[in-house]
Structure 1
């Protein structure tokens, strides 16, 4: 039986300073990978990398605005130099701005498109360039994109966010096809996380209550749990475990797939 052992592999996690990204980085490190925390939050990112090192992992922080092509190139170069390669890229960085469509703010919508869609596309681009046979990694690898259950359900207040996460699903599938056809040796998959009580998830519940969609943040979270067959919200380790699986040899014949990690909510 193939294990989830990632010893000897190097992973880069965007938005890795906190929340889901930090949990994913910790799980990858626990599976044996060296991990680069990539984020715009420099101090918090350094602290997260330091905490991983204190647990015995090999970890570094790299500053990265995922919307900036040049910063991607620099970050990958630093990771390869510091950690000896690049085998796994987790495109986790994302933002959510809650708006009813009737009150849509164009600037906020563009920001979500820029971070969530362009940021993920650039992550795939630079993962391919590093991991393909002629790249500095050169051994192939795995890309895991973080979509959302919002890509599979109709939930009020998150229209543009849902659209960006649906776009990540399409990017994943096209990228997997290109990698296969061009012989890059890089598997590309995505997961659809459920609502998880991180800072972003908690803010969404508050925002929905403020928009009058639910009587309170607790009612918003409760409504999500009621829509979920397993009867609860997601937890960070639920999502992190799925990322480790898709990054490992246990998923060696899986590419172009979207894995729901949502307790059945999106079925």
Structure 2
């Protein structure tokens, strides 16, 4: 087993720093502070992405989805995906996937399922291990029932040269009818100079990064039916009252610089 390294930043730990967590190191804070100096909206982006995931999971759970495959899980931050899903349907099953050893260290928080449901954790890199991810996921999930595939704030760390579109297509193709894709993604549509600088900072820290425009992100949903309101900044996807209050505080869309959507497989 490869031991985690703490002398270089990691996307999951930097994201934890943005969210105000404590499971990160000085090198991650340094990288995060460099990004925040260029993109002050990074914390808001992390928060609104997390809230989008909560609303999307609840939306799908209330419509009968009982199986979830969450890739790029990150360090546990309550409420975690399984807690949202199992609050609606205690029998829900969730497979978490991440490539960071530190996430495995904290995976106990992801394993606290309801007695009726189940959660498991798979250590894997979506860019290189998507076939193994599917094999291990379907050892727990029923291939004949809908699965919600969650790729929240993940694919901007999978550049084109790593086959991002091909990987997503393969994952979605393996899911049965009635399944869903939950996705959010960083974009340079709102402020290209800022986001391109952020990409550069990540790459200089040894972390792959590629923002994409709206049309490029829409291609991940090829063959799927977008749920209303389509592809929008994450805080505008079926916002609740708290999200609506936050949205009036300045130009949150430009600050967050993300697109989000949910697509259904018919």
| TM-score normalized by the length of structure 1 | 0.49
